[in-house]
Amino acid sequence: EADIYQTPRYLVIGTGKKITLECSQTMGHDKMYWYQQDPGMELHLIHYSYGVNSTEKGDLSSESTVSRIRTEHFPLTLESARPSHTSQYLCASSAGTSGERDTQYFGPGTRLTVL
Partner 1 sequence: KNQVEQSPQSLIILEGKNCTLQCNYTVSPFSNLRWYKQDTGRGPVSLTIMTFSENTKSNGRYTATLDADTKQSSLHITASQLSDSASYICVVSDRGSTLGRLYFGRGTQLTVWP
The residues that touch partner 1, with contacts defined as CB under 8 A, are 2, 4, 40-45, 48, 59, 90-92, 97-100, 102-109, 111
Query: Which residues contact residue 70 at a Cβ distance below 8 angstroms, ignoring those fewer than 6 apart?
Result: 52
CA–CA gap between residue 93 and residue 76 (Å, rounded): 14
Please give the Cα distance from 45 to 7 (Å, whole number).
Answer: 19
